[in-house]
Structure formats: C-alpha cells, structure tokens
Amino acid sequence: MRVTVFGTGYVGLVQGTILAEVGHQVVCMDVDAEKIEALKQGIIPIYEPGLESLVKENTATGRLSFTTDAALAVAHGDIQFIAVGTPPDEDGSADLQYVLKVAETIAEHMEAHRILVDKSTVPVGTADRVRARVAEVLERRGRTELTFDVVSNPEFLKEGSAVADCQKPDRIIIGTADEHSVEVMRELYAPFGRQHEKIIVMDVKSAELTKYAANCMLATKISFMNEMANLAERLGADIEAVRQGIGSDPRIGYHFIYPGVGYGGSCFPKDVQALIHTADSIGFDSKVLKAVEARNAEQKTTLFAKICEHFGGELAGKTLALWGLSFKPNTDDMREAPSRVLMEALWAAGARVQAFDPEAMEETQRLYGDRDELALCGTKEAALKGADALVIVTEWQSFRAPDFDLIYKQLSQPTVFDGRNMYEPARMAKKGFTYYSVGRLP
Ligand code: UGA
C-alpha cells in the first residue's frame, strides 16, 4: 500500500519505518529540509534502539523515502498519516496549529480520495476540526467533489522501545464511522499478523479519548505509588514489600507501580495537563487528574528536600555526583526530566553538580551550556571524584551493580540518595553507606 507520513519526529519516523519494513511503500514528509537531508543519508535525529539500521535498510530497498515536497507527498499515499507535534500551549492545552497546517496542505494538493489519519495525540474533537479544515480548502479550490475521511489511530509507543512497541502493538485503535476506511486500515495493519485481532474499531471521539485515558491512567498509577511511598517513609513501612503485596492482585498488576522521582518525558506531563484543560474548558472539574499532576510536581522536589535535610540546609560549596539525566533509561530525552528540577534547585542553593548519563550528555550540554556549577563527566566513576554524595535520578541498567567500594572511597561522605530504589537498603548499610531511598525501610 502507498502511505504518506507527515512529520518525522518520534512517532512519524518510527511508524513510517515499520510500515515500510512490513512491505508498504512509505514517503515521510517534513518541512525541516535539514532533517530530511540527514535522514536521506541515514542520520537519525533521535536516539532510539534499532531504528537507525531499519531506516537505512528500508531506504536502501526504496520502500522508505524522505521528501520536503508536499505535492509529491500528497500524491503518493492513499493513506496520509498526520504525525506532527502537538506542543502544549502556555495554558496546558495542545497546540493544534501543525496538525491543522498538514490538513490544509493535504487539502491543497489532493486530486483523489484521501484517508487522513491522526496519529499525533490530539484532543477529543480534533478529527472534526481536521475534517472542517479540509472541507474549507476544497471549497476554496472549487473541488468539493473530492472525497476524504479522517480517522483517529493513536500511537502507544514508548521511547526506548518504540520499534518493538510498533512491531508488536498491544492494540490498534481505529476511530471512524466509515466502512471503507476501516477496511483500508485493516489491510494496512494486516502484516502485523497475530496482532490483527488486536484491532479495535470505534467512533472517532472515543479513539481520541482512549489515547488520553491510557496515559492518564498510567500517570495515575505512578502518582498513587509515589504517594504511598511518601506515606510509607513517614509510617515506617517498606514500599517495596507493599508494591509486591499489591501487584500480586491481577486487578492491580505489577506494571507501572514503581515509585520514584516523578514521571517526565514528552507524553505523561503534557497529556495529563491537556486533558485537565479539555475538562476545564467544558466546565468539568477533573479532580483526580489535578491531584495526579500536583503529586508529580511535588515528587520531583523530594530528592532535593532529602539532600537539603541531610546537609542541614547548607548546600553552598557542596558537590553532588549525579547519575542519570534522561527522564528514563534508554533515551537521551530530557523533556520534563526530574534531573532538571533537581539540578536547578541544587544550583540555586549554591551546590555544584558532576553529572553522567549514558546517552543524554549532549542534550544536557545543549540545554545548560558551559557553566561553573555543572561538570559533565565521561564516566559514572569520573562523576564521583571529589563529590560529597551520590544522587541517582535515572535507573540505567549500567548503574545497577556499580563498584560500591570505589563509590565509598571517592565520596567525602559515603552517602547515596537513590531516587529509583536501585539497591537493597540493608546491603548499603552493611557497606557503611548512609542510604536514602524512596519509601523503603532503612
Ligand atoms: C508513555 C506511555 O508509556 C506510552 O504507552 C505512550 O505511547 C507514550 O507515553 C506516548 O504517549 O507517546 P514514555 O513517555 O515514552 O511512554 O515513557 P514511559 O516508559 O511510559 O515512562 C514515563 C515516565 O514514568 C518516566 O519518567 C518513568 O520514569 C515514569 N515511571 C514509569 C515511574 O516513575 N514508575 C513506573 O512504575 C513507571
């Protein structure tokens, strides 16, 4: 099948590449000429395991190509994916200007029936707005005989495992009332074989809400567990035992109940805020979501509070080794990362940071530039040199079994603030560390 994907960000690039990989003819279109030029040469703008080789292979076979030519892009695909960004506006609502611009572009150039597919996370009602925008342009062109449909097909991939998530989706949501579109979308996703029965067809607004409901439910689980961890800390209970105790109930499950330093990334914070905004805009007070957001904002400050208390409020002149900058492992993404809230609070209090991350060093450099209060270190060991204590913000695999003797020797005070519960408190105590966890018994 012939598919066009507008937007070569995370979602567009991964989806386009995987559709090419299963045999479709895919054209990825972006207005960013530099990015397209780089992609043509196999240079991937993001760090995503497995993606680069897939892009190269599929470009070589000719199934995947990149263009900035809108007319060519619209002429190519019977299916036109809209996978451009929906950044939050200042008030937290999703900014739809890029989505609507793509709708206009498609309407400007289309010469035959087109199925527009919303892949970006967009508020309920967006498909209707896309439909109206296309109709407006066709009217202006005097081409109202041209037919089209707008389908909602939200993406559920996770950064760091985007390729696998896309190849083996838990479900494929198709939101449309048009039977022809359903048939075409079923055919498009048929190569995913076993996953075929995972297609769930529904009306377009329900599909749009499904995406938000999924992310908000997951964010709720995390904020709930963070609240329990904070309570456990104060009550003298161990959140790790509690986690296992509740996770064993299949109605609760073990996934997404790890307490930590709050959720970050480009999805949860933005989507929770956007749904709160949608609810507010129709006069509905979404009490649960507001609490989820408030708990998360506070959770991002808990490591700093512990550090502050440990040093008796005297952070001026202190140096903290910091392991983990990205918002989660296997990505270089620093958007809404808890590490940023922590570093900025430490600097404001007069402390220095010696940081290491396996992937996010360049991104940190780009965000903060050269400054006296931040040293970017080449290894996790180098970050320890001369530091007063170690802080762990992201649970990278390579931090799981460090050389504890070396840590002990390097730190001026053998103290570890662990925002991800990476180590056993009893073991840490035995090794002579002062160990701060999230809700675990000392
Ligand atoms: C999330 C969803 O998991 C995807 O299903 C969805 O498609 C995606 O958003 C999106 O809307 O595009 P992502 O933001 O890549 O994916 O990252 P997650 O792996 O979900 O992690 C989000 C945050 O939650 C991270 O900061 C992580 O540290 C935190 N988290 C996760 C916890 O604090 N505890 C947990 O138990 C799980």
Using a 6 Å cutoff on CB, does residue 263 contact ligand 1? yes
For the chain, the domains span: 2-202, 212-298, 300-436
Helix H segments across 175-203?
179-189
Ligand 1 mean position, distance from CA 442 (Å): 28
Out of 28, 166, 267, 377, which one is annotated catalytic? 267
DSSP string across 288-337: HHHHHHHHHHHHTTHHHHHHHHHTTT--TT-EEEEE--SSSTT----TT-
Global ipTM:
0.96
* Most informative mutation of 158, 220, 255, 302 for ligand 1 (most atoms within 8 A of CB): 158
The amino acid that residue 153 corresponds to is N
Name the token pair of 267. Answer: 């999805």
Q: For the domain bounded by 300-436, which CATH number is listed?
A: 3.40.50.720
Instruction: Quote the CA–CA distance of 222 and 339 in Å, as a whole number.
Output: 17
Instruction: Quote the CA–CA distance of 247 and 249 in Å, as a whole number.
Output: 5
Per-residue pLDDT tens digits for 265-312 = 989 999 999 999 999 999 999 999 999 999 999 999 999 999 999 999
Split at pLDDT 50, 70, 90, the class of 195 is low
Per-residue pLDDT tens digits for 306-354 = 999 999 999 999 999 999 999 999 999 999 999 999 999 999 999 999 9
Per-residue pLDDT tens digits for 40-51 = 999 998 888 899
Take atom 10 of ligand 1 and give the residue whose Cα is closest: 267
Of ligand 1's listed atoms, the one at least distance from the Cα of 161 is 15
Take atom 9 of ligand 1 and give the residue whose Cα is closest: 267
The amino acid that residue 414 corresponds to is P
Ligand 1 mean position, distance from CA 54 (Å): 24
* Most informative mutation of 268, 296, 333 for ligand 1 (most atoms within 8 A of CB): 268
- Does 2-202 match 300-436 in CATH topology? yes
Domain 2-202 indexed as CATH 3.40.50.720 = yes
The amino acid that residue 406 corresponds to is L
User: Of 58, 18, 333, which is closest to residue 163 (Cα–Cα)?
Assistant: 18
User: Of 269, 384, 236, which is closest to residue 322 (Cα–Cα)?
Assistant: 384
Q: For the domain bounded by 212-298, which CATH number is listed?
A: 1.10.1040.10
Is residue 333 within 8 A of residue 326, CB to CB? The reply is yes
